[in-house]
Amino acid sequence: MIRNRILEAAFLCLVALSAAAVADSYKVIHVYPHDSNAFTQGLIFIDGHLYESTGLNGRSSLRMVDLASGQVLQNHNLPPDDFGEGLTDWNSTLIQLTWMSHKAFVYDRFSFRLLRTFHYDGEGWGLTHDEKHLILSDGTDELRFLDPESFRVIRKLKVVGEEGSKVQNLNELEYIRGEIYANVWETDEIVRISPKSGKILGRINLSGIIDKHQLHGNGAVLNGIAYDAATDRLFVTGKLWPNLFEIKILARR
């Protein structure tokens, strides 16, 4: 009897792990050009345009980009010692993180004029927002919810996988229909996170979306999620990728 129960428990565990490993797939709706010199760290879509934060010391920038052509319409270069990271909007401003400088830049969205600088502990990776808070990733399994005016930490959220394990290397973030989407650094996966519990709600496997032979340079990995709420369009790209993709998620069956 005990042996049967152990075998049953082991079987159920294997079933659970197998289910957790199955991820949603995708369909490419449209392919757009993207600057292959852009080390994409943050990506958002507002009022018909993409806004992008690019990284690397001496090459970091804030950009407004035309979706159809990939042309940079507006550009602001960061100081050479600052490595650009996550990006989000808040009201009429843009907020851009830096990797290890412990500071975020707040710009006027229309002129890119620098308005303020915030400081925070730890590294800056990804940034998005819900209705009340900024949401910051720092490469660990923890997300921080911040006051958008003072940058004060309101709460912290541990992200856990389907089987209860830590989910680390959370990178670029996007808040979509009440969920947090996050690139998992150096993988082809996006995870969907509950902003209340921190549990993984689902995974999206984007392997095969780009021919890896097209990619050149160190770190040319998937990174960049933007959502057009007005038309329910989802865009993804990567660091140093020559293309940006509009995709539709295909739920697993």
Digit-coded pLDDT (tens) for 48-93? 999 999 999 999 999 999 999 999 999 999 999 999 999 999 999 9
The model's pLDDT over 187-234, given as tens digits with 9 standing for 90+, comes to 999 999 999 999 999 999 999 999 888 888 789 999 999 999 999 999
The verdict on residue 3 lying in a domain is no
Q: How many domains does the chain have?
A: 1
Task: Look at the pTM and tell me if it is higher than 0.85.
Answer: yes
- Two structure tokens written together for 36: 């292959």
Tens digit of pLDDT for each residue in 157-189? 999 998 889 999 999 999 999 999 999 999 999
CA gap 160, 157 in Å, rounded: 10
**Does residue 165 lie within any of the structural domains?**
yes
**Residue 207 included in any domain:** yes
Q: Confidence class of residue 253 from pLDDT cuts 50, 70 and 90?
A: low
Which pLDDT band, with edges at 50, 70 and 90, does 24 fall under?
A: confident
What is the predicted pLDDT for the residue at 213?
87
Paired tokens of 61: 């920038």
Domain-located, residue 176: yes
DSSP code, position 69: T
- Tell me, yes or no, whether 15 lies in a domain: no
DSSP symbol at 2: H
Which are the contacts of 73, defined by CB distance < 8 A and separation ≥ 6?
49, 63, 64, 65, 66
pLDDT at 142: 97
Helix boundaries (H) for the chain: 2-21
Full domain range(s) for residue 218: 24-250
Amino acid letter, 39: F
pLDDT above 80 (res 10): no
Instruction: Tell me whether residue 29 is in a domain.
Output: yes
| Backbone dihedral region for residue 214 (phi beyond 0: left; psi -120 to 50: alpha; all else: beta) | alpha
Q: Which residue in 25, 38, 99 sits closest to 244, CA to CA?
A: 38
In a domain, 158, yes or no: yes
CATH number, domain containing residue 154? 2.120.10.30
6 belongs to a structural domain? no
